[in-house]
Structure 1
Amino acid sequence: MRKTVKKLICAVLVLVITVVMLGGCGNIAGSASGGTRYLYLTYNTATDTFKGLLANEMVKAAKNEGVTIDVYDGTESADDQVAKIKEAAQEGYAGIIIQAVNADTAKQIEIAANGLPVVFVNNKPEDDLLKADKYIYAGSKETQAGELQAEWVINKLGNPKKLNVIILKGVEGHAATVGRTKAIKYTLKENGVDANYVFNDYADWSEDLALQRMKMFFRTGQTVDAVFCNNDTMALGVIKAFKENGIDYSNIPICGVDATADGCASVKAGEMSMTVLQDAEGQAGIAVKAMQLLSSGKSISALEGASEDCKAAWVPFTVVDSTNVSQYQ
């Protein structure tokens, strides 16, 4: 009942306050008011560490650039996002930045924007759904994260010829899930590793689901040499599973992605082997700068990290392990 009331109150405030907070998004920072207003649509920020971090960084980036971003933390519904964009197109916004629930709905999102530029973040649509200097993606190449994980494990284990591998994946169909997983497999194969995938399943970015999946794996009686997770939160669930089952994992690399605060703390403690920094600050900064250019009718071509076709602005991933984790805490 309290949650329902909170949602109703927030729905009224969406037209009044700078940052919209629906359904438990109180972890999102506020923003200073600037001359130009953009709408940032996201979801599940209260339960997804990186989504919450990216929303906070989006607000900070807007403040640094002297513009306003209203954050709409909606439901995990593509229809909800499209409906909100239709409203925004009539409410004086200069552009839409969106963490799409489903990247395959990019065309519907672009139509709903009614001529406004759109910057997609954290879930990349296919290239044919993007348009140069109009509908673009700002973020990191998901394949790079999986590639860096696999290369790190290969080097750590001394260029092994065979490995028993576990992969715990994010939400099915998400661009990060697809890109990171594909790159892990490709990189292992290209480096001559005969990978036996003893367990390969979705854990939906969740620590609890990762814990459950690992318990399922332990019941098979198989051994594992390396565990790759599509994000830090799942890697923490893996570590918890090893601990709860009294299994020594000191020689088993457990890899994550995002370099969240909890992930870095785990690396520092010698538990998670490594993570890959998904630079929320960098992604938010380039998204806002790209939107400023697009909403002024300009090209992103001169923006650092811009692709040659002007459909994307890239922020590189960075390996974080025991040698440099203190730099990211």
Structure 2
Amino acid sequence: MKLALSAAVMAGLMTGTVSAETLGISMQSFDNNFQTLLREGLQARASEVKGTNVQFEDAQTDISKQLNQINNFIAAGVDGIILTLADASAAPGISEAAQKANIPLVYLNLEPGNVGQLPDKQAYVGSKETDAGTQAAQAACDLLKKNGKESTAQVYILMGDLAHQASRDRTSSFKDTLAAGDCKGVTIADEQSAAWTRTNAMDMTTNWITAGRPIDVVYANNDEMALGAIQALKSSGVLMDDVIVIGIDATQDALAAMTVGDLDATVFQNAKAQSASAIDAAVALMSGKPLEKQVMVPFELVTPANMNEYAHRN
């Protein structure tokens, strides 16, 4: 899917009539917990950079809506664009449109694919998604070994939106790490997409429980889905001591669940650092400064032993 630039838009861009240092920001969804943290981080960092204004739009997980927002940013002559993708398949068209308009573009958090081939004045800021899956798997295996279930456990995976590279990478690296280590005997009983949402994850987990199969581990590609799984397990009378639940993001809701013993581990994704780096990257590109195609912020494993360190990180 490609974005069309009219002659009138191009003429408007060349006149330079729009005020400088305006960043158009399209967010995948304002309703998503982690996306909200990113939006707050973007606003906070932008307020620290003198002369930088930001305009936020909510794509509501709708690819068409996001494409319209990008078109509107280009038509308005913004100085730079930051976006969290509603669908990675739209990235080539978005990149092409921004390149034609000579507007710097920064993809944030959700990888566009082929990052190394992004045009000039474009970059990706995020975290190495395979690291998240690897850390989650190592935590799951350590807990299973304590319970003596490293060879018999039934593992269920709640995936994010399959249109996102993050979901695919977090899932594949989790499975690969289990298969290569001490827990290679476990069974991946099922893996389904709950599209990053708590409600979908609760429904999916309820279906698994209703099917009557044993559940030893639930690994979710984000904390929202992990929390949905916990709600379903508790509503069905399952004792949380009997199930290992692991998420990703280390949101405040997730840490609260860990405090009461419902969530066993999560992987901290640094929203503040990603957001600040995205603003800094956009400003650098707008200023004509060289920048790596990828700016990576490390993931960090969070367990009950160190969770207090993360209480105010996002």
| TM bucket normalised to smaller | 0.7 to 0.9
> Retained in 1: the 8 A contact 2:59–2:86?
no
> Retained in 2: the 8 A contact 1:82–1:112?
no
Matching of residue 181 in structure 1 with residue 168 in structure 2: no
Q: Would the alpha carbon gap of residues 218 and 323 (structure 1) be closer, same or farther in structure 2, given more than 3 Å must change?
A: same
| Distance in 1 separating the partners of 2:163 and 2:28 | 17
5+ residue gaps, structure 1: 1-33, 301-309
1:145 is matched by which residue type in structure 2?
A
Cα distance, 1:259 vs structure 2: 0.9
Matching of residue 194 in structure 1 with residue 196 in structure 2: no
1:299 corresponds to: 290
Matching of residue 290 in structure 1 with residue 290 in structure 2: no
Cα distance, 1:294 vs structure 2: 1.0
5+ residue gaps, structure 2: 1-18
| Distance in 2 separating the partners of 1:85 and 1:245 | 44
- Counterpart of 1:110 (choices 92, 95, 98) is 95
1:108 is matched by which residue type in structure 2?
G
Q: Would the alpha carbon gap of residues 130 and 59 (structure 1) be closer, same or farther in structure 2, given more than 3 Å must change?
A: farther
> Retained in 1: the 8 A contact 2:136–2:174?
yes
Cα distance, 1:133 vs structure 2: 4.8
Cα distance, 1:81 vs structure 2: 2.1
Q: Would the alpha carbon gap of residues 128 and 276 (structure 1) be closer, same or farther in structure 2, given more than 3 Å must change?
A: closer
| Distance in 1 separating the partners of 2:261 and 2:120 | 44
Cα distance, 1:289 vs structure 2: 0.9
1:109 is matched by which residue type in structure 2?
I
Cα distance, 1:79 vs structure 2: 2.5
1:157 aligns to what SS in structure 2? helix
Matching of residue 57 in structure 1 with residue 41 in structure 2: yes
| Distance in 2 separating the partners of 1:115 and 1:247 | 56
1:208 is matched by which residue type in structure 2?
T
Cα distance, 1:255 vs structure 2: 0.3
| Distance in 2 separating the partners of 1:112 and 1:260 | 34
Deviation larger for 163-172 or 127-136: 127-136
> Retained in 2: the 8 A contact 1:133–1:298?
no
> Retained in 2: the 8 A contact 1:140–1:278?
yes
1:43 corresponds to: 28
Matching of residue 81 in structure 1 with residue 66 in structure 2: yes
Cα distance, 1:74 vs structure 2: 3.1
2:215 corresponds to: 224
2:53 corresponds to: 68
1:89 aligns to what SS in structure 2? helix
Indicate the structure whose relative CO is greater, using CA pairs within 8 Å and at least 6 residues apart: 2
- Counterpart of 1:255 (choices 246, 249, 254) is 246
1:205 corresponds to: 196
Cα distance, 1:128 vs structure 2: 5.8
Cα distance, 1:177 vs structure 2: 0.9
- Counterpart of 1:140 (choices 127, 144, 153) is 127
| Distance in 2 separating the partners of 1:83 and 1:200 | 33
1:215 is matched by which residue type in structure 2?
T
> Retained in 1: the 8 A contact 2:24–2:78?
yes
TM-score, normalised with respect to structure 2: 0.86
> Retained in 2: the 8 A contact 1:96–1:117?
yes
Runs of 4+ in 1 over 4 A off after TM superposition: none
| Distance in 1 separating the partners of 2:297 and 2:164 | 19
> Retained in 2: the 8 A contact 1:162–1:196?
yes
Residues 233-289 of structure 1: CA distance to partner in whole angstroms, max 9, x if unpaired?
111111111111111230421001111110111111111101111111000011111
Residues 186-245 of structure 1: CA distance to partner in whole angstroms, max 9, x if unpaired?
110111412311121111112222111112112222212211001111111111111111
Q: Would the alpha carbon gap of residues 283 and 93 (structure 1) be closer, same or farther in structure 2, given more than 3 Å must change?
A: same
1:100 corresponds to: 85
- Counterpart of 1:121 (choices 101, 105, 108) is 108
Deviation larger for 169-178 or 155-164: 155-164
1:313 corresponds to: 295
1:164 corresponds to: 154
> Retained in 2: the 8 A contact 1:164–1:224?
yes
Answer 1 or 2: which has greater helix percent.
Answer: 2
2:154 aligns to what SS in structure 1? strand
- RMSD between aligned residues: 1.8
2:113 is matched by which residue type in structure 1?
E
> Retained in 1: the 8 A contact 2:132–2:170?
yes
